[in-house]
Amino acid sequence: MKLSADQERALEGARAMFRERLGDRLEDVKAAVDRAAGGDGERYDAYRLAHSLAGTTATLGFTHLTPALRILEETLEVETPDWLEARACIDRVIALHRDPS
């Protein structure tokens, strides 16, 4: 069952809203990684933010960011992550977001 033209427009509006918020959400993930790496936050919180954002980028069509977010999610999934790798991952995602080319 195809989406109606009205639904397509609604989806496009939702994507536009997400695009506006995406920069902030990526910064939230970076901050959570930094806090966890520095011992001021929980690894699990950073993991959840990365996990959630990976799923939403995939669903809303921002698929150029999804693979890198999935790598970040996997990096953060283990009890003692490689924090250097995690920081490098989120920086890569942010760079991709700023310059998709």
Partner 1 sequence: MAKSPLESMSLLVVEDDSDLALSIAAVMATAGIKVEIASTFAAAESWVGRSKFDVALVDWFLPDGEAPEFIRRARLKDETLQFVVMTSQNSVDRAVDAIKAGAEQFLIKPLDFEALQIVLQRMVEKSNESRSAAAAVEEDIDPFGSQVADIERSRCAQIAAQSGNVIISGETGSGKGVLARWIHVESGRRGPFVSLNCAGLNPELLESELFGHERGAFTGANQRKQGLFELARGGTLFLDELGELPRVSQAKILKAVEEGRFRRLGGTQEITTDARLIGASHADLSDPEVLRPDLFYRLATYRVTIRPLRERREAIDAITRSIVRALRPGTQIAPDAMAALRTHRWPGNIRELRNVLERSVSLLRGNQLTRDDLDMLNVSSGSVEPGAEFGLELTLAEVEAAHVARVLRHHGGNMSQAAKSLGISRTTLYKKLAQHDSANTP
Stretch that binds partner 1, among 7-15, 29-37, 74-82, 87-95 (CB under 8 A): 7-15
Both tokens of 49, joined, read: 């933010």
If one asks whether residue 84 binds partner 1 (CB under 8 A), the answer comes out as no
Closest contact distance (angstroms) between CB of 84 and partner 1 is 26
Residues 6+ apart with CB under 8 A from 15: 60, 61
Asked whether 88 and 96 are in contact (CB, 8 A), the reply is no
If one asks whether residue 25 binds partner 1 (CB under 8 A), the answer comes out as yes
DSSP codes joined into one string, 59-92? HTT-TTTHHHHHHHHHHHHSSS--HHHHHHHHHH
If one asks whether residue 78 binds partner 1 (CB under 8 A), the answer comes out as no
- Hey, which residues between 47 and 76 contact partner 1 (CB under 8 A)? 48, 51-56, 58-60, 66
Nearer to partner 1, 23 or 84 (CB): 23
Closest contact distance (angstroms) between CB of 8 and partner 1 is 9
Distance CA 68, CA 54 (A): 8
